[in-house]
Structure 1
Amino acid sequence: MVMTVSSLSPIASSKSFLNRLNAPCSVSVAATAESAAVSPHRFTTRCDGNTRHCDDENISEKCKRRMVLAGIGALSAVNSLSASPLLAQGKPEDYQIFVDKIDGYSYSYPSDWREFEFLGHDSAFKDRYLQLQNVRLSFIPTNKTDIHELGTSMEEVVENLTSNIYSAPNQFATILGMQEKNIDGRSYCTFEYVLTSPNFSRAAFATIAIGNGRYYTLIVGANERRWRRVRNQLKVVADSFKLLDI
């Protein structure tokens, strides 16, 4: 296994992500899943490629975008997202490995988490007592072969995911850091972000990759109030995601 890791330099850019994937309804699953986990205001992105607009009076689209760009601009100072040292030792202690040879992926999760059904996702595990502390994996068809084909830069891709796909209309996104790596010729991008609404905030890591004719997304997160306590544990999960040949 060959792996290279690099940090991504900050850049401000904006184009619609909705037409990047050549698959019908390509982003509705990810959008609905993330918003359902963080807010009662669930939404579905339309399949015609039209970008949804924020209609919340308190948080305008311009305000949300400003917060995203502010987060990107502070990446180098805030967080370099170095890979978890536990993964260099193989399977970390107190983690289990989930392997799906049929759908072509694997990842680790805390041993005391249990499997559950998460709408629109292929697999999901959650803390026994804190349901919002969970990991879930989804994928959609694509004719892209690498995540770099999703935008002019990975910064653009991450910005559009957090502000247009993962966030609900009453939320704004702040990106805390991101990192790109290459394992056995496949590109992965892991990024840390916070979604904030007037009454609730959630922090998470997301790892995206393309392979086997599919665009895979792994998201692992928790209530922002617990983030400092569980961040390192959840980073192991985000770093462990790997595609398998099928």
Structure 2
Amino acid sequence: MPGGLLLGDEVPNFEADTTVGRIRFHDFLGNSWGILFSHPRDFTPVCTTELGRAVKLAPEFAKRDVKMIALSIDSVQDHLAWSKDINAYNGDEPKETLPFPIIDDHKRDLAIMLGMLDPDERDSQGMPVTARAVFFFGPDKKLKLSILYPATTGRNFDEILRVIDSLQLTAYKKVATPVDWKNGESVMVIPTISEDEAKDLFPKGVFTKELPSGKKYLRYTPQP
């Protein structure tokens, strides 16, 4: 699809109508981290479960100073009406407000610009709907990570929180997170750090796993 963002790209400072009024995206993010996630259509089953989960996890995102915002190709009026269903799905009062705004992209302008359209899923008019894209932005407004799911596969929001923890940790510490890492577990010392520098940076100690090659590149340290 045309458009799209690459890692390291600064997200355009677009304007959009949302369930909380018109926004400029950079102003909305401010100095916080941000997550922009799209869904195919309002009033659809998988999307309802996803946004319901996002609502439940909103306090966790707030603790990490992450601003959340959703997008679909429906109108603000539809978003507000659908929000009642999302709250009811969660067992809460069916009100029009969610802890985060939803962008109105009924003309598909943003979906095209950001590369969010799913070419294989179409609405009743034969128009492509939005895929389940997840974009993570740092305080510098640059794309730090993206995940793209087809419309038929619901996202795992626990994984989304996990990668935010990794992104924030590795943005400020000279470490990397290994496979299946979770917050609080040991991390890896990046290869560009010398052994002497590692001793200064990681006073809790560095453990090197011995390998047949004799190369000492698997270095672990408690999460700083």
**Normalising to structure 1: TM-score of the pair?**
0.28
- The structure with the greater share of residues assigned to strand is 1
Instruction: Give TM-score scaled by structure 2 length.
Output: 0.30
